[in-house]
């Protein structure tokens, strides 16, 4: 693991040296910057990994907002029946004939 770190830092320090125009006598500066970048990246990766594992373990289940199909169908079935049409009222002339 330490060898991987050294290799990564060395490669980044070399890249920084090339980006600076191959300026000599800045190797310590490039090396320290490469170390900082590498260590920061490792710390961020560890934090993301820890956060992700905690989020998965502690995430509460979200309740469903949808009603099951049976519940929706039964709501229609249990509705009050429609009123029957009323028979027309007999007028006073009709009752007199009876």
**pLDDT-derived band of residue 3, with 50, 70 and 90 as boundaries?**
confident
Q: Is the pTM of this model over 0.85?
A: no
Give the whole-angstrom CA distance, residue 85 versus residue 22. 98
HSE toward the beta carbon, residue 13, CA cutoff 13 A: 19
Percent over 90 (pLDDT), the chain: 33
Q: What is the DSSP letter of 23?
A: -
Beta strands in the chain, from DSSP E residues, in sequence order: none
pLDDT at 22 > cutoff 70: yes
What pLDDT score was predicted for residue 37?
95
Tell me the C-alpha distance between 93 and 97, whole Å: 7
Q: Where are the domains of the chain?
A: 2-60
The model's pLDDT over 49-62, given as tens digits with 9 standing for 90+, comes to 888 776 655 556 66
Q: Are 16 and 28 in contact (CB under 8 A)?
A: no
């Amino acid at each position: 693991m330490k060898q991987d770190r050294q290799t990564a830092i060395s490669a980044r320090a070399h890249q920084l040296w090339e980006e600076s125009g191959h300026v000599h006598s800045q190797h310590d500066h490039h090396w320290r910057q490469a170390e900082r970048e590498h260590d920061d990246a490792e710390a961020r990766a560890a934090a993301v990994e820890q956060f992700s594992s905690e989020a998965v373990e502690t995430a509460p289940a979200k309740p469903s907002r949808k009603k099951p199909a049976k519940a929706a169908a039964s709501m229609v079935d249990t509705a009050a029946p429609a009123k029957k049409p009323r028979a027309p009222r007999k007028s006073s002339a009709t009752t007199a004939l009876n």
